[in-house]
Structure 1
Amino acid sequence: METPRTGPTGETIDTPRHRALGSDSRARILRLVRAAGGGVTAAEVAAQTGQHLSTTRAHLDRLTEAGLLVKARASGGQPGRPAWRYRATAADPAPAPYRALAAALLDHVSGDAGDVREAAARAGQDWGRHLAAAVPDRQDPVESVVSVLDGLGFSPRRQPPEQTGGTEVHLRTCPFLELVGRSPDAMCGLHLGVVRGILERDGVPAETVVLEPFGAPSACVVRLPAPIARRRP
């Protein structure tokens, strides 16, 4: 077990991060990713740095393992399996109970032999129903989503419909970034399921809800059916 070192002013030196930045190439890549608010692919980084694609991927993975980057699959609405997109980490952690629960769920679904993202979404849906029960019964289902996600630390912001052409909530921070780094597909699926579970109380069909990682500059995007209204019994 490695003992943390301290700097000249007594601060703790995060050895994995310092090691990751011990390469000029990785430091340059980190600056490049930070400058690209919407995230970048390995191919885009390779094109800008002139490095071989496999070398670029190795550097990006090292920065991700050190917690300096997070990656997710962002399709941009296109069919097929999208490439990984990388974004710099910059978020406060979620409250400890939620982090512990998310970690437990991640461990559970990671052992699932099927589609990890879908398994995580099912687990998240149960969690979302539980969280929705703790917020006031609202007329606007989207406001329920915003309230719960705000409590979890996602800094959600509802977008004006005239700007998006639909109903969108932008998640400007992710309080579970270190868990996303462990299993991006599972954690993004878990977050999608949470939103579905919240909306289930208001009769919104789960299959109409989409979570697009890095779907907007500096934000992941929750896309909801438009118009969205509460279904009365």
Structure 2
Amino acid sequence: MEPSGKATSGETVDTPQHRTLGPASRVSILRLLRDTGAGMTAADVAARTGQHLSTTRAHLERLAGAGLLVKARANGGQPGRPAWRYRATATDPAPAAYRVLVAALLEHLPSDADGRTAGRVGRDWGLRLAASVPPQDDPVEAVTAVLGGLGLSPHRQPSGPGAASVEVHLRTCPFLELVGQRPDAVCGLHAGLVRGVLESRGVRDAEAVLEPFGAPHACVVRLPPPRHRAGRR
């Protein structure tokens, strides 16, 4: 249904989402993000739409508050605090085998916990989950096995010799609704989980960077290449 405020039978539709989509500028922003597929910052959206940056930020926050967008920021490997990236929510979120577990875990984190706090919890979780997958020689394969078991549909991207990092694209996120509620905590949890898996395979002090919505219809995990390993336990 187009956000016109009318249902097909002619009755008026009055929901928070339809009220949010009243201004045409918000409709154009939502369409832009849906068409792009990848996450965009407020600066990206302002540049594409020609709107003022502060106005764009306000529209994006209203759309996120109505559940039409989710927002998150990259975790780890970057100085300072990265900008929020926004992506249109999926119309049919995938089910998650560990959804209840993650939701319960987040309830035990302080409401002001940042990605680093959740990352420490995720690291311990990753160490435990890594014990359930075969002992692959390539630690990146161990990461994809664990992430696949969580329903994140990981796909390792081709990389040439001498590449600075290995990219793994996560094409589904069963935890997308939780990302909307606690973005820093959920993404920090996943980044820490990846670090825990790497550590279990001898890659210590690894900077695994999670870039939410970094590719069209996918989040991006950047991992150290296998040659950076520090020895198996």
Q: TM-score, normalised by structure 2?
A: 0.80
Secondary structure, aligned partner of 2:33 = helix
- SS at the partner of 1:40? coil
Corresponding residue number in structure 2 for 1:23: 23
Corresponding residue of 2:183: 184
Q: Return the offset for 1:94.
A: 4.0
Pair 1:82-2:85 in alignment:
no
The structural deviation recorded for 1:49 is: 3.0
**Residues 93 and 66 (structure 1 numbering): CA distance in 2 closer, same or farther, change over 3 Å?**
farther
Work out the CA distance in 2 between the residues paired with 1:202 and 1:14: 53
Q: Aligned residue for 2:53?
A: 53
Alignment of 1:209-224 (within 5 A): 209-224=208-223
Whichever residue aligns with residue 79 of structure 1, its letter is P
Q: Is the CA contact (8 Å cut-off) linking 1:139 and 1:230 kept in structure 2?
A: no
State the Cα distance separating 1:120 from its structure 2 match.
0.3
After superposition, the C-alpha distances for 1:97-145 in whole angstroms (9 at most, x for unaligned) are x112212222333346xx6111000111121122222222323221121
Letter in 2 for 1:197: G
1:169 correspondence with 2:168: yes
Q: Which runs of 5+ in 1 are unaligned?
A: 1-6
- Give ranges in structure 2 of 5+ residues lacking alignment: 1-6
Query: Aligned in 2, Cα 1:225/1:167: closer, same or farther, shift over 3 Å?
Result: same
State the Cα distance separating 1:168 from its structure 2 match: 1.9
SS in 2 for 1:70: strand
Identity over aligned pairs, percent: 64
2:119 touches 2:189 (CA, 8 Å); kept in 1?
yes
CA offsets 1:36-88 (integer angstroms, 9 cap, x no match): 23322212323333433333222211221222211122499763322212112
Cα 1:52–1:208 shift into 2, 3 Å: closer
Q: CA deviation at 1:14?
A: 10
Aligned to 1:3: none
- CA shift at 1:34, angstroms? 1.8
Aligned to 1:129: 127
Relative to 1, partners in 2 of residues 1:49 and 1:212: Cα closer, same or farther, differing over 3 Å? closer
For the residue of structure 2 that corresponds to 1:146, the secondary structure is helix
Displacement, 1:95?
Answer: 2.1
Q: Is the 8 A contact 1:38 1:217 kept in 2?
A: yes
Q: TM-score, normalised by structure 1?
A: 0.80
2:71–2:87 Cα contact (<8 Å) kept = yes
- Aligned alpha-carbon RMSD (Å): 2.9
Alignment of 1:1-233 (within 5 A): 15-74=15-74, 79-90=79-90, 92-96=93-97, 98-111=98-111, 116-162=114-160, 165=163, 166-228=165-227, 231-233=231-233
